[in-house]
Homo-oligomer: A and B are copies of this chain.
């Protein structure tokens, strides 16, 4: 049974999604770094989703969602200032389906170029979440487009979880089983998907979320047992400024061991280490997993730790600013 987007996805939906997305998205490599192992005091296995289609794991969820559209869907739409918009535009183009992406006028030029490059139509709106939602509703009313949300959606959660299925397979090819999987959490599509995957495939593997201390709604939700739905994020990790989705919260409560927070300095340091030591151009949000290992060393000591590098899309002309710890990219 395909997951209904109004229900919670199951572990089986993730395993099914792994079949669905295989061949369309990349099986991204798992890389290592002796120096980072030494610094982290652990055996680190980096899953390279910055080398995924559209440069982010979001290609997985978008691909899975588009394989499960209601019959007769002729147009899809979303709102996004980040990787989900590009991923949906790309996945729609792969299926020959038209796509509209509502983007705030403040969205980085690079993201607009990416979405247009995949052939989607951009509708520009004001910068607030309310502006975006209103603009998206207007699109739906005028066009009948089917909405594919960025994270609070069963198809998306199941799709993002496929990364964990690959991690376990690839680690097995190296003769090991990870003790822990660490993934950044923003809206929680990735973390919930990984939690579901591991609950079925390898319940002994701890799933730990990592988020900026300046956007710690997920940690507070999980630890306090009450879903926090508003926050004023302060972090350079632009992909993690959103609050946890409803479905995501419910799944994470059940399947994720803990969520740890990291400092802004820790994110910058981890990003610079990834750039200089692995030569991989990851975006700030993607460095949050390594930052967690470095700032919470005791939890990971001598373990096999899989760390998801979530994406590699950023305005490279602003790299120096990022390294100087400037909060907002734009």
Contacts and interface: CB of A to CB of B under 8 A. Distances in A.
Contact of A279 (B55, B323, B324): B55
Interface of A: 29, 50-51, 55, 110, 272, 275-276, 279-282, 312-313, 316-321, 323-324
Nearest to A35: B117
Nearest to A277: B55
A321 B318 CA distance: 10
A81 B119 CA distance: 46
Contacts of A272: 316
Contacts of A51: 279
A324 B317 CA distance: 8
B316 A317 contact: no
A323 B319 CA distance: 10
B319 A316 contact: yes
A280 B50 CA distance: 10
A143 B55 CA distance: 52
B276 A316 contact: yes
A316 B55 CA distance: 20
B279 A50 contact: yes
Nearest to A313: B276
A317 B323 contact: yes
Query: Which of A50, A275, A276, A317 has the largest number of chain B CB atoms within 10 A?
Result: A276
A110 B276 CA distance: 10
A50 to B, nearest CB: 5
